[in-house]
Amino acid sequence: MSDETTPASATPATPEPGRTVRLDRHLVRALAHPMRNRIVGLLRVYGPQTATTLAGRLGVNTGATSYHLRQLADAGLVVEDDTRGNARDRWWRSAHQGTEFNKAELLEQEPELALGFLHGVGQTYAENMFGYIDAMQTMPEDWRDASVLSDYFFHLRADQLDAMMHEVMAVLEKYKTPDLTAPLPEGAEQVTVQIQAFPRETRQ
């Protein structure tokens, strides 16, 4: 089973050639900084943005987002959208809609950078969850009822967990959105489904 995923993650259940980038030791250097990780996620979910609009979403100054956009562009993870803006108002878009990577390979090749990248992913997941909790009180009742905040515990072998995740990914594949930047259908909202499945320390 392939490993996944980017921040505000728009990772296809089944990687699509040209739309999914596979991280190597060089690309993980570009994404090890949490802000770059988040910028890529925002561009995938909300479509092309300027350094100014990204700065507003992230609560930082434009100089910071401009710098990180240049680093991401050098790595080939974002590209300039030359159909918008002008010389003083540059728009950027993600070069891919999803990310996949092999944890074991990256941890062997670039352990510190890989851990930095994964910590950034985890931080984004946590922020997504807290954002949902903060919005829950004013959320429409049907969306509040449909949303889930839960965890489950199992006694499984590694091969059983792998099989379970394949089944879960098949369900996600059924409902996937090909282009997250497309206009929302009537009555629809952008929905985040976060999956974390891992062994816990066993205490007797």
**Which residues neighbour 158 within 8 Å (Cβ) at sequence distance 6 or greater?**
none
Each residue's pLDDT tens digit, 131-143: 999 999 999 999 9
E strand or H helix that includes residue 93: strand 91-94
- 136 token code pair: 């829950």
10 Å CB burial of residue 19 (0-12, 13-18, 19+) is middle
pTM of the predicted structure, to 2 decimals? 0.77
Q: Whole-angstrom Cα distance, residue 85 to residue 12?
A: 30
User: pLDDT category, 120, cuts 50, 70, 90?
Assistant: confident
* CA dist list (Å): 21 to 16, 27, 61: 9, 9, 28
Each residue's pLDDT tens digit, 60-112: 999 999 999 999 999 999 999 988 866 677 999 999 988 888 888 999 999 99
DSSP 104-118: HHHHHH-HHHHHHHH
- 33 Cα distance to chain centroid: 14
